[in-house]
Structures are given as structure tokens and as C-alpha cells.
Structure 1
Amino acid sequence: MANSIRIYILVDSEFHFVQCAVPRRPQPVYESEGNITVSPRIVGGITAQEGDVRGIVSIQTIKGNHCCGGTWIRFGNRSQILTAAHCIFVDDQLIPESFLHLLQIMGDDLSISKSSPGPRRQIGKVRKIVPHPQYSPDTLHDDIAMIFLDKPFKETSTFGSIQVADENVVDNQTCSIAGWGTTAKSIELLIANVSVVPREICNGAHSHDGKVGPHAFCAGSMHGGTDTCQGDSGGGITRQNRLVGVVSWGRGCGRKTFPGIYTNAYEYRDWIEKTIQLENVSPPITQSTVLMLATVFAAIFARSIF
């Protein structure tokens, strides 16, 4: 079972919680008021500059507490957020629809500071969440999900949606990772470069030992030192400004012989596209619907005459 962050929020005199599952990652430390004081972050990274990572977003509670990362992706003219499925589950169950108003998505800001937001910061309201239907909380296979907002973010010079890669990752390719997994001293976005590790190595007996799913890949270094960590879950791993994967899980952070595991975004292109199409298709207008509307309008018209 995945570990988790559980954040309680007071709503209408009752405490509700929003919980982000964080599999096999160190846990954060909270103050008594629920603010994060210590939480592991990207290992071996440097501070990002404006425009370095165009599509990254922070999945937060409405109090501004960072839970997971995500990526604003684009298929045609449609835009939405791609993240890890484990980020939107509570005790192995999908976050209830009645709790979605307790979540928000932050974009176009290098900092997750609650007291000093950047001048371009945008906040989106969550309308719907759709995990992959085969997602398994036990194995973390198919660890991918879509988040649909009430309305799209606005493209700016420093922030915009990015395409999902149209070709698969290749062993030893260099990719970029980014995330806000924070410490008490830093709440800024960090970035780092990692290499794709051959499956036969990272899924071997001396590494993850067969636990890497068929639609996931490893990236980092067998020597350790550079990796995503708790708080970075759900964020993207990119190459040439295209999304190649989603931060899924790991054994520790930056550990020798245990590179991070990423859901392979390329292998889910069909599911992503179909999910977006289903979400954007309007219900068909049937003959019975037309007749019903005609009856309603006739009744309104008759009342206005008499």
C-alpha cells in the first residue's frame, strides 16, 4: 500500500481531508497548523529560471499546500492537466467528486509560496478527475490520470501547454525533471537532468527486481545522486519540451542502484486522446430532445400571448 500525505481542512465547521498518495517516498513534516516544514525534494537539482519548464503545475489544497506536480498538456486545441493516478486517490479510492472543490491547480509561478505569490500566478479550479481505468494502487501500474479544469489556463511568455512525445524514450537519452518537493529553506521550483536507464538494468535483481511496470521506464543514475522525490510525484519528465513521462514512484530518493520510475506518457497517447475527446463531446441531440424543447418553447410562447 502506498504511503500518503493527509491534510485536514475545516469546511462548514467540519474537518475534511485531502490526501495525496506518495508511494515509497519519504514523508513530509508538518507544523501543528498543517503547514509543511520539511519535505524531501528533487535531488541534485538547481533553481529553475522563468520559462525553463513551460507546462509544470502544482496540485494543491485550497489552502495552497502543495501535494503533487502535474503538466498542462495539449492535444489539438484542448488543454488539461496530466498527473499520476496515485496523486488523486484517498486510501486506494478515487477522491470523491464532493471533495474536488478542496483542490486547486497553480500555474505560471516558480514558487509555491502562499504568502508571496508571483505576479503571473494562475489558479485553476478542478472540475473532474479521470484516472486510468487499469490503475493499480498495489503495483502502481498505469499510474496516470487526467485533471479537467473549469476553464483553461492562459498562455503566457513563461507558461503554456506542451505536447506529449510522439516517439518513445531511448536508453541513455538525457531528459529533464522538475518539481517543488520542498525543504524549510526553499519553496522554489528545481530542475535537473537525468538519463534513461535500460530496463534490463533497473528492473534487474540488484535494482527494482521486476517491479517496474510494462508501461513505465527508469531514469536517473545507477550511481545515485539525481532523482525526483516526494512532492515531485505527478510532475513531468520532458525531452526537447515534450512530455515523455510522469513521475510515479521510487525507493528512496537519489539512492544508488535505484533510479526513479516514470509512467511512459508516449504509451498512453491513445488513452489521453480518447479521454479528452469523451470529455469534450456534447451529448447528441435526439428526436425526443427536439420534441421536448419544441413543446417547452411553444408553452412559453403561448403564455406570452395570453
Structure 2
Amino acid sequence: MSSQPLEAVLEFPIEDASEETFHCFSQKIPSNNLGFLDSKTDVLEIEVAGCDYTIIQSTGLLNSRREEGTTGAVLWKITPLVAAWLASAPPLLAEVLHQNAIVVELGCGVAGLIGLVLARFVQCYILTDLDYILKHVKENIIANAAALENNKKATKRRSGQKGTAADHVLRMLPLDWECDYAQNLETVLPAGSPIDLILLCDCVYNEYLVGALVQTCADACRLGSSRIKPTVVLIAQQLRVDTVFELFLDSLMKEFNVWRVPDAHISAELRPGSGYAVHLAMLKCADGN
């Protein structure tokens, strides 16, 4: 566990979105196609951090012409890699990822895999996406109920909780970045608890959603603005279109200080040359610093 504050470990934030984009995309990027793990099967069996999970996908939804979009209908390659890295308890994130942590994921997709994995490590994990996506997430929580119960059994005994682990740890909230208010998160947050970590995993793909996504992140972070320790945003992204990525970074940097996660603090599967990029962000102070 790092004895230094997170900002001290990360040192200087990124100053230029264009330069950072060039750095990320100048690496040799392997072909991941669109980034689906397997878009042709309705059920995936996957192991992450020593535990087995059954993931129910919606191939029908993926191939539909739904106006709201279908990108969350199946599991993306980057998701189990991020889940495994976070489950390893990276020292860099010790301040925001721990037994009492409150984590919010924006755009969790039908799998909800990161939430399923981290349910055994945190106090509360809030899965958010569009309402029709969350109906599928609920199916995956039910499909993995036994694994969740086994993972949290010891914690429940110590705390005297009743009911299922999913009832206490995993919570869901419909959240449309364009239409809904981030303040709605307060309806599912444990009373009086600020958000420790906000997670975006492969959410940057549509230039028209960039502004709404960044605003949602900023508003969610401000729910805990009175606390001394700021909410941390983790962005893990497959590198696809450099112009969209640069637009996102540029928009993000107007509200946040942003750092690329140093190689020494991240798993080998997510380092430069993997085709993925991982960044951390924290809201700027009122004076812009």
C-alpha cells in the first residue's frame, strides 16, 4: 500500500490532449477489431481473479437497430482485464479501492462484470446504464448469485447483514448521460457516503456523447465536494479513433486534472502496446488547479 497521496505518486498531470493522444496512438496497437470478447454467443463462462462467472449477453440486442445504441449488449475484451487488475488491489488505488469504498460505474453494459468481481472487495458498487441495459445486468447478478454469496459470506458474518450480498453491495441505477441528473445517484448511495471511485470502462466511442459523459462525471464527483479526499475517476479505454479520444481528453481536462497511469502501477495486459489506455482524473479546484 502506498504511503504517499495519489497525486504525489502520479506527479504532474497531462498538459496537452493532442500530445497525450499522439503518445497513446503512436504505440504499436494490436488488432482487437471492434473489441468484442465473443459477440456470437449468448452465454460466456469466464474466470477473473480466481473466480468463475457466467455472463449472459444479448446478441439480439447487439444486432438490433435500437435508437439508444447497442454497444453495451456484449462483453468487451478490455473489461475482464480491468476487472482482474482492480481485483489485484493495486497499491496505486489503495485510497479509493478498499473494503469500505463506494464505487460507481458509468456505462456498465449488460455484463456488469467489474461490479460482479469487485463486489467482494468494496462496501457498495453502483452499476449505471440505460434502463433497458440494466434489465440484462439484473439477469447476470442473478446468474452469479451463488458466486457472490460465497465471496461475501465472511463479510456478512462479521457485519451481521441479512439478505443477499447483491442486495447490500451491488446496486443499480438507470442513468442516461444526456437526460438524467448525476444527483440521482444519491438515491442509491449509502446515506452520508461520498463516492470514492468512478469507473468508465470503454465508454469513449461516440463523439456526440463526450460532453454529456464528462458533465456526468463532473457532477457525480461534486456529490462529495465537501470531503477532503476527492473522488477519483478511472478511465480504461480501447484505442480506436484518435480524434474521438482527443476530443474526450480535451473536454475532460477542462474540468479535471488527468494522469496516465504509470506502467509500473498497471498490469502488463493494459500497458502501452496492448491497444488500451488507462487514465485517472480528479476534479480541479475552484481556482482551476
* Structure 1 and Structure 2 fold alike (TM over 0.5): no
TM-score by length of 1: 0.31
Structure with bigger strand share is 1
TM-score by length of 2: 0.32
Structure with bigger helix share is 2
